[in-house]
């Protein structure tokens, strides 16, 4: 199953997931001026980041909105980035956060697990109900695909709905986590984790150990590190025996060059940012284990 490949990438390369949430404004002006068409600059910027980091990361996450916003040319770049990452033998998470039902969900599944935008994992929003996930499951079972469902997100507004208490004093995100864990047990890989994972933000750490203990077979996609305030020590609480999750960082890696005067080789600063993040998390995991 695809989760076994991701598990092995974490074991070999660490936990870093590079978020290619690439705004055109992130591209250095002197680099952008080399290209006649903006979409070419966008692809080459991403390509250089990938080339500089693929041997040090677990995977890449591409937020589709940044490419949809540019219309057909942007979606062409999105397609090319997915293909390029897969050519290197790396894993792609397409961050699409779809959350619809029945035939509409079937079409979303077809769009992102087949054809031009075919990817390894997608993100889904189950807050309309667990039947939003069913149309994707045949791909998980038969076609080496995976899902990360939103469970408890890293944004401040998560408290508006996800933290509401139910009649039996369970928070909404806890109910969702139970359902994701139960569903995922039907799709376990040899590593012991499921190809149906959960998005668990690391910016609210009070419930970290409870979540990890309740979701023993759920692999986590962990946003919130760095720019959103999450630390390596926070992240370590969501892992198990040094694995069980990947940690996303976007701006901290894409814009690492802005902390330096020489930006001619921006990709070198991204590589160093990945290495620093990887080591930061590995050291936090070791420190927690040694306690």
Name every residue whose Cβ is closer than 8 Å to that of residue 259 and which is 6 or more positions away in sequence: 269
Please give the Cα distance from 156 to 133 (Å, whole number).
25
Sign of the Cα pseudo-torsion (249, 253, 255, 259, in order)? positive
Q: What is the CATH number of domain 2-290?
A: 3.20.20.70
Instruction: Find out whether 72 and 289 touch, Cβ atoms under 8 Å.
Output: no
**Strand 146-152 with 16-19, pairing:** unpaired
Nearest Cα residue to 150 out of 216, 102, 198: 198
- Check residue 57 and give its pLDDT: 98
Q: Which pLDDT score is estimated for 206?
A: 82
**Closest CA relative to residue 224, chosen from 210, 235, 213:** 235
Q: Do 233 and 4 touch, CB atoms closer than 8 A?
A: no
Distance (Å, rounded) from C-alpha 152 to C-alpha 219? 14
The pLDDT assigned to 230 comes to 87
pLDDT of residue 13: 97
Task: Specify the DSSP element, H or E, that contains 114.
Answer: none
Q: What is the pLDDT of residue 66?
A: 97
Which residues, in sequence order, are CB contacts of 200 under 8 Å at separation 6+?
151, 152, 211, 215, 220, 221, 222, 238, 245
pLDDT at 169: 81
- pLDDT tens, the chain, 291 aa long: 999 999 999 999 999 999 999 999 999 999 999 999 999 999 999 999 999 999 999 999 999 999 999 999 999 999 999 999 999 999 999 999 999 999 999 999 999 999 999 999 999 999 999 999 999 999 999 999 999 999 998 888 888 988 889 888 889 999 999 999 999 999 999 999 999 999 999 887 788 889 999 999 999 999 989 877 889 999 999 999 999 999 999 999 999 999 887 777 899 999 999 999 999 999 999 998 887
Domain ranges of the chain: 2-290
Residues 6+ apart with CB under 8 A from 191: 3, 4, 7, 8, 243
Task: Tell me which residue has tokens 């208490």.
Answer: 165
- Distance CA(218)–CA(166), nearest Å, equals 23
List, for residues 171-230, the tens digit of each pLDDT value.
999 999 999 999 999 999 999 999 999 999 988 778 888 999 999 999 999 998 987 788
Catalytic sites, residue numbers: 97
pLDDT at 111: 97
The contacts of residue 107 (CB under 8 Å, 6+ apart) are none
Conformation bin of residue 28: beta by default, left when phi > 0, alpha when psi is -120 to 50: beta
């Amino acid at each position: 199953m695809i989760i076994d490949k991701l598990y092995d990438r974490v074991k070999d390369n660490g936990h870093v997931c590079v978020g290619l949430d690439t705004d055109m404004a992130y591209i250095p002006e002197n680099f952008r001026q080399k290209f006649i068409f903006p979409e070419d600059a966008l692809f080459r910027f991403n390509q250089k980041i990938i080339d500089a980091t693929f041997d040090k990361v677990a995977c890449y996450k591409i937020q589709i909105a940044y490419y949809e916003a540019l219309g057909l040319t942007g979606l062409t770049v999105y397609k090319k980035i997915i293909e390029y990452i897969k050519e290197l033998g790396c894993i792609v998470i397409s961050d699409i956060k779809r959350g619809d039902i029945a035939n509409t969900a079937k079409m979303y599944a077809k769009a992102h697990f087949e054809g031009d935008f075919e990817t390894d994992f997608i993100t889904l929003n189950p807050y309309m109900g667990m039947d939003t996930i069913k149309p994707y499951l045949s791909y998980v079972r038969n076609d080496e695909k995976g899902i990360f469902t939103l469970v408890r997100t890293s944004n401040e507004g998560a408290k508006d709905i996800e933290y509401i208490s139910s009649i039996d004093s369970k928070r909404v995100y806890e109910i969702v986590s139970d359902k994701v864990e139960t569903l995922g047990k039907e799709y376990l890989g040899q590593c012991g984790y499921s190809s149906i994972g959960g998005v668990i933000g690391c910016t609210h750490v009070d419930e970290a150990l409870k979540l990890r203990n309740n979701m023993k077979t759920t692999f986590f996609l962990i946003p919130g590190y760095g720019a959103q305030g999450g630390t390596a020590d926070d992240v370590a609480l969501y892992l198990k025996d040094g694995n069980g999750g990947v940690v996303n960082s976007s701006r901290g890696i894409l814009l690492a060059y802005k902390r330096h005067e020489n930006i001619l080789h921006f990709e070198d600063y991204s590589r160093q940012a990945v290495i620093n993040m990887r080591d930061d998390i590995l050291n936090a995991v070791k420190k927690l284990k040694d306690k």
